[in-house]
């Protein structure tokens, strides 16, 4: 019997499983796969958590990070125990993924200097503007370097003590392995990288050092940033301290190989096999973003687009929106409560499905309704803060179908603004892949996204698993030195038997969404007024 055909219990018992852990915005997930057949999921575990708004910043407490990681791993281990009757003692490889960007700053003793500043914070506008002009490329508000430079501009007390800064994935990886490294995809959201050297752009780092020399003497970027690794490179091993931190029961032994830690955007690319030029993916959750692999550089910089990389270092245009499906979920929760007090016994997933299916009967332009999903600031839309709104004119048609279609269109509204910029650059797509919980109801959000992008949208059976599975696949890739390039590994070893459900744009949805987006763009003035009127 070949290693790829071993019973699942034997795969786990012989240490041939690969583990992926992803820290998302609302859930920390763990996923165990067969390292020899990464399409084969053996067990999963998860833990719910939420960010907090403290002293003007969106943050997560580090104790919540570890409580959540341990809970997700414990849930996975319990599933292994209950399903296969065994324990996880060692692994072929493991990896960590998390929300990209943000700012985790540490002193020389490894103590956190300021509370974790997540991607959701938009307080770095001044810094991002200066850096974008200086470096000649768009530096978004959420990028780590924007947070650092804003702290320098604000003369924050922690800057003289700064020894290193990193992302959430980089932090968790360092605590587990002792290595201060990042995968190139996550690193490219900290500071621009040079696709030729597969490292941070040296000229840009020198410009930054000169920029801060007077305000922050002795601050040199190279020494502060984590080292950059590409997919497949070994990124350290689980230390005894890391093993105890991940699995306090003491069952998991140290020595497990780790792949480079990556951001959630990168693991989404893996989860949808969209790492080749002219492919892209949309990931929808608390935030929503599109990743499009480019055939060459763009003609000029655009504030709506980030330039990041694939795991191998190829150029990617990223359209990142701070607000995804959270407001939609809040409305679904409202209808769920109505069903309950009316005597219904619907499961939350049933409520989602019923409302999503109802939206298919809505008008192609949502009947004149507008829905803004902005719970937080949205740089692409020019909004410093969030004000969720539903807006309609007296002659609009307020039906449940139109209301739900407007809510789903609203999830894709800001994303579509950024994708229009990419289209104007002449970037062409053969297909977009989509993943995230919003796509679980077949043929609804997928269809509307196809209409919004005017491109085919494909969804795989793993669409709702997302990044935890994606980083487990990257761990399996690192465990096989002979696997070849990452795109071939994904095509031949991971997705060879995977069926994608692809939907072409509906001829009525394309002009319908375009009409919606025209109103949506004009109506952003209402959002600005709401921010002023309701501080």
Q: What is the pLDDT of residue 499?
A: 83
Q: For residue 498, what pLDDT is reported?
A: 84
Sign of CA pseudo-dihedral 356, 359, 361, 364: negative
| pLDDT (average), residues 125-134 | 96
- For residue 4, the model assigns a pLDDT of 58
Tell me, yes or no, whether 319 and 425 share the same domain: yes
Which CATH number characterizes residue 306's domain? 3.30.420.40
Q: Are residues 278 and 330 in the same domain?
A: no
For residues 346 and 382, membership in a common domain is answered with: yes
Quote the tokens at residue 178: 């002792």
Pair (363, 486) in one structural domain = no
Residues 480 and 491 in one domain: yes
Q: According to the model, what pLDDT value does residue 245 have?
A: 98
> What is the DSSP-derived secondary structure letter of residue 429?
-
Domain that holds residue 372: 326-411+507-533
Residues 281 and 428 in one domain: yes
pLDDT class for 483, splitting at 50, 70, 90?
confident
Half-sphere exposure of residue 381: CA atoms within 13 angstroms, side-chain side? 31
Looking at per-residue pLDDT, the higher value among 487 and 104 belongs to: 104
pLDDT(165) > 80: yes
Verify that 332 and 407 share a domain, yes or no. yes
First to last CA, the chain: 66
pLDDT confidence tier of residue 248, bands split at 50, 70 and 90: very high
- Inside any domain, residue 225: no
Whole-structure pTM value? 0.86
Cβ atoms of 240 and 254 closer than 8 Å: yes
Task: Tell me the pLDDT tens digit for each residue of 278-333.
Answer: 889 998 888 899 999 998 899 998 989 999 999 888 999 999 999 999 999 999 99
Residue 255 lies in a domain: no
Q: Inter-axis angle of helices 400-424 and 326-341, to 10 degrees?
A: 170
pLDDT of 1 strictly over 50: no
- Do both 488 and 446 map to the same domain? yes
User: 182 and 189 in contact (C-beta within 8 Å)?
Assistant: no
Is residue 406 within 8 A of residue 369, CB to CB? The reply is yes
Residues 424 and 451 in one domain: yes
User: Is residue 146 in some structural domain?
Assistant: no
Name beta bridge partners: 284.
288
Domain assignment present for 36: no
Tokens standing for residue 337: 């409560």
Distances (CA, A) of 440 to 12, 147, 331: 29, 35, 17
Q: Are residues 332 and 400 in the same domain?
A: yes
What is the maximum alpha-carbon separation in the chain?
Answer: 69
**Per-residue pLDDT tens over the stretch 430-440:** 889 998 889 98
pLDDT of 135 higher than 70: yes
pLDDT more than 90, % of the chain: 81
Q: Would you give the distance in Å from CA 125 to the centre of its chain?
A: 21
Q: How many CB atoms lie within 10 A of CB 34?
A: 23
Q: Let me know if residue 484 belongs to a domain.
A: yes
In a domain, 220, yes or no: no
Measured CA distances, 161 to 156, 215, 393, 470 (Å):
10, 14, 55, 36
| 303, 284: one domain | yes
Torsion angle defined by CA atoms of residues 421, 426, 428 and 433, in that order, rounded to the nearest 10 degrees:
-10
- The answer to the question of residue 118 being in a domain is no
Same domain, residue pair 423 and 380: no
Rounded to the nearest integer, the mean pLDDT of the chain is 94
pLDDT in tens, 445-478: 999 999 999 999 998 765 445 689 999 999 999 9
pLDDT in tens, 184-225: 999 999 999 999 999 999 999 999 999 999 999 999 999 999
**Total domains in the fold of the chain:** 2
| Residue 21, pLDDT above cutoff 70 | yes
User: Looking at the predicted structure, is the pLDDT value of residue 2 above 80?
Assistant: no
Identify the top-confidence range among 271-280, 349-358, 479-488: 349-358
Average pLDDT, stretch 409-428? 94
Model confidence at 428, pLDDT cuts 50, 70, 90, reads confident
Q: At what angle do helices 144-153 and 125-135 cross, to 10 degrees?
A: 110
> Can you give the pLDDT at residue 321?
93
Q: In 10 A of CB 3, how many CB atoms?
A: 13
Tens-digit pLDDT profile for residues 402-411:
999 999 999 9
Eight-class DSSP state of 275: -
319 within domain boundaries:
yes
Which pLDDT belongs to residue 3?
A: 55
Q: Distances from the Cα of 101 to the Cαs of 192, 219, 274, 363, 407, in angstroms?
A: 12, 20, 21, 38, 27
């Amino acid at each position: 019997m070949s290693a790829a055909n071993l019973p699942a219990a034997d795969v786990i018992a012989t240490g041939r499983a690969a583990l992926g852990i992803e820290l998302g915005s609302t859930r920390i997930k763990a996923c165990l796969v067969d390292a020899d057949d990464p399409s084969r999921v053996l067990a999963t575990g998860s833990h719910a958590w939420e960010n907090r708004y403290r002293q003007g910043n969106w943050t997560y407490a580090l104790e919540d990070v570890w409580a959540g990681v341990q809970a997700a791993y414990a849930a996975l281990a319990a599933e292994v125990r209950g399903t296969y009757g065994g324990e996880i003692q060692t692994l072929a490889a493991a990896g960590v993924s998390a929300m990209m960007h943000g700012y985790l700053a540490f002193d020389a003793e490894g103590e956190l200097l300021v509370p974790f500043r997540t991607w959701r914070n938009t307080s770095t506008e001044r810094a991002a503007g200066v850096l974008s002009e200086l470096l000649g490329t768009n530096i978004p508000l959420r990028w780590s370097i924007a947070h650092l430079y804003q702290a320098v501009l604000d003369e924050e007390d922690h800057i003289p003590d700064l020894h290193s800064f990193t992302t959430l994935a980089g932090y968790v990886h360092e605590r587990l392995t002792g290595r201060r490294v990042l995968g190139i995809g996550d690193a490219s959201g900290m500071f621009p990288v040079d696709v030729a050297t597969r490292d941070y752009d040296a000229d840009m780092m020198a410009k930054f050092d000169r920029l801060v020399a007077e305000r922050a003497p002795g601050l040199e970027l190279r020494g502060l940033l984590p080292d950059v690794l590409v997919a497949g490179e070994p990124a350290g091993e689980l230390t005894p301290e890391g093993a105890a931190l991940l699995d306090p029961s003491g069952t998991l032994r140290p020595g497990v190989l780790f792949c480079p830690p990556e951001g959630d955007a990168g693991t989404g690319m893996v989860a949808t096999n969209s790492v080749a030029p002219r492919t892209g993916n949309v990931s929808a959750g608390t935030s929503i973003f599109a990743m499009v692999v480019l055939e060459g550089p763009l003609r000029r910089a655009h504030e709506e687009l980030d330039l990041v990389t694939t795991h191998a270092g190829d150029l990617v245009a990223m359209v990142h929106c701070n607000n995804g499906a959270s407001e939609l979920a809040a409305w679904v929760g409202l209808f769920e409560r109505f069903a309950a007090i009316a005597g219904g016994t619907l499961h939350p997933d049933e409520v989602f499905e019923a409302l999503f299916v109802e939206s298919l009967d809505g008008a192609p332009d949502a009947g004149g309704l507008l829905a803004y999903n902005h719970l937080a600031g949205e740089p692409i839309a020019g909004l410093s803060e969030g004000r969720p709104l539903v807006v309609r004119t007296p002659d609009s048609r307020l039906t449940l179908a139109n209301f739900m279609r407007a809510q789903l269109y609203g999830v894709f509204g800001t994303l579509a603004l950024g994708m229009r910029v990419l289209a104007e650059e002449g970037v062409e797509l053969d297909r977009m892949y989509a993943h995230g919980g919003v796509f679980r109801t077949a043929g609804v959000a997928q269809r509307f996204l196809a209409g919004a992008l005017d491109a085919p949208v494909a969804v795989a059976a793993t669409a709702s698993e997302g990044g935890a599975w994606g980083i487990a696949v990257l761990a399996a890739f690192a465990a096989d030195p002979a696997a070849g390039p990452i795109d071939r590994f994904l095509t031949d070893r991971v997705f060879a038997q995977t069926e994608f459900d692809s939907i072409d744009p509906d001829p009525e949805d394309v002009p319908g969404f375009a009409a919606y987006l025209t109103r949506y763009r004009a109506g952003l003035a209402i959002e600005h007024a709401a921010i002023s009127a309701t501080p």
